[in-house]
Structures are given as structure tokens and as C-alpha cells.
Structure 1
Amino acid sequence: MNEYRTIDLEEEKNELGKIEISPEVIEVIAGLAASEVEGVHSLRGNFAAGVVERLGRKNHGKGVKVELGEEGITIELSVTLRYGVSVPEVARNIQTNIQQALQTMTSITLDSINIHVLGIQFEVQDEEGEQ
């Protein structure tokens, strides 16, 4: 049985109560922040995420995995980049953008952001435009 886990924001406890953030929220924020980076073609999810997306439900956390460990929060991101970009530069930009977005929106500090480049997308000509 899957245990429902949240992230407590210790510094945000006050007389009104505490704030908890679901890992799914972090996945969505990280996925959107990564897709904003110039040179990213797409995020790559697993087979199940692809099936769900084909059924009409948009999955903004696709290709993002959040791990809550003893040392902190780790994000694993799987991406496909556009042909011709500098892979290390785009990967660093993705890490920076995710870190800034999460810090601004949630005040969460991360242990690490690991980028997995799974492919390069070449420019594909539109067949209808050629005819």
C-alpha cells in the first residue's frame, strides 16, 4: 500500500497551523520550470504516463521523480533536448530554473537535482507544409 507522504515546512509553522506540500506539487513545479528552459524539447515519462496523457489528462509532472530521503529532497528529471544545444549548459539551466522556482513558490531547499538526458530531437519537417 502506498503511503501518502508530504513535506513539512518547519519554518512555516505558526499559530495558525503547519503547511505541508505533496511531492506531486513539487513534480509539477519542477516539470513546468524545466520545460521553460530554452533547448528542452520534452520531458520523458514512463509508459503509464504516456497512456494517461493520450486519454486526455495532461500530466505536468511527467519525467519528474521526487524522492524524500534522509538527507533531503532529490529530484530526478528525464529530458529530451533539441539538436544543436550545449547539453551541459542546458542541464545547468534546468537545475537553476527548478531550484529558483521551488525556492520562490515553496521555500523548499533541495539536496540535489539530477538531470538525465535521454535523447536529442532533430528538427522534423512538417509533411503538410512540403505538399
Structure 2
Amino acid sequence: MSTQTAPVAKDVSTPRTGEAPRATTSVSDGRTGADQPAANRGRTSIADIVVVKVAGIAAREIPGVYDMGGGLSRSIGAVRDRVPGGRSNVGRGVKVEVGERQTAIDLDLVVEYGAPVMDVAQDVRENVVSAVERITGLEVVEVNVTVNDVRLPDDEEDSSQQNGTRVE
């Protein structure tokens, strides 16, 4: 008579030797076992970058927000956006701190001239909290908004004006 042993489950949550740990957050502590409902089997982890991207997209949806990030990151982002095949960085200007069930978010904004800064900041804060809580399930404890710059109407970045050629 032969005995069989059940295969041992491999722990994939800890990094292998030589690998950097991934920044993730456990949102649900699922249980294992056939007696548990299917929705409770296993656990869900959310990487910090998910919160960064959701917050960045939500902030950019608000009218009056021209761009995000500090001066240097915007300059690097502008170059990156012009490179063929380059993708814009929706996380530029967003910093997050994620715990097990909560997150805190810091945003750096550039606001359009004429837009009421306090109203834009409030609308950004409300939209970011709503989007992050709805999409990730994490509780947002604070959203700090820093307005780094104002985009003036004279700052038109029309490439035809900047590259004013003298000859055809």
C-alpha cells in the first residue's frame, strides 16, 4: 500500500533570494479551504503603483488642472512625451503612502490661470478620494494638494510659434 502526500503550496508572497520586495498592500485576508465561499478563498494585494495611477488619472480629470509634478519632473515628462513610442506618466506628481487598509496621497499640481485654486484643489481632493476608494477599496485618510505653478495664457506651447522657421 502506497501513501500519497499532498503537494506543498509554494509561498509566492515572499520574494526569492536576490529579488527586491514588491510594494503591495493586502486588502483582504482570505481564507483557504473548501468550506469557505469562493469569494473568500485567497487574498488580494494591491501594488502602490495602482494607487498612484488611479490618483493621477482622477486628478487630471478636474477642469483647471493643467499638469502635474514639480518643475524638473514636468521638464523630463515633456521630453518623454515627445519621444516616439514614449508614454505619458500618469503618476507624475503623485506620491502615496499605503498601509494595510488605508492610504495617504500627496499631489503636485499646475493650475490654469483664472481657475480658482482653492476650488480646483477641493475638486481634485474629492475626485481622488472617490476614485481611489471605489477602485482599490482602501480608505483614503488624506489628500495633500500642493499647487506648484500657474499656467499663464502667454505660455502657449504651440510648436509652430516655437519653431518659427525663417525659410520654407
TM-score, length-normalised on structure 2?
Answer: 0.65
Q: Which has the larger radius of gyration?
A: 2
Alignment of 1:66-105 (within 5 A): 66-68=96-98, 72-105=102-135
- Equivalent residues in 2 for 1:29-68, closer than 5 Å: 29-44=54-69, 47=72, 50=76, 53-54=80-81, 55=83, 56-68=86-98
More RCO (CA 8 Å, sep 6+): 1
CA contact (8 A) 2:26 2:100 kept: no
In the superposition, the TM-score normalised over structure 1's length comes to 0.82
Distance 1:15 1:127 in 2: 54
Displacement of 1:80 in angstroms is: 0.2
CA contact (8 A) 1:6 1:20 kept: yes
Identity %: 29
1:2–1:87 Cα change, 3 Å: farther
Structure 1, unaligned stretches of length 5 or more? none
Query: Which stretch of structure 1 is more off in the superposition, 1-10 or 103-112?
Result: 1-10
* Structure 2 residues not aligned, in runs of 5+: 1-18, 31-38
Structure-2 change in CA distance of 1:87 and 1:30 (3 Å) = same
Change (3 A) 1:127 1:47: closer
Q: In structure 1, what is the equivalent of residue 14 of structure 2?
A: none
Cα distance in 2 for residues equivalent to 1:43 and 1:36: 12
- Whether contact under 8 Å (2:102, 2:138) holds in the other structure is no
What RMSD in Å do the two structures reach over aligned CA positions?
2.9
Per-residue CA deviations over 1:32-76 (Å, capped at 9, x if unaligned) read: 000000110001157467268345132111110011359942111
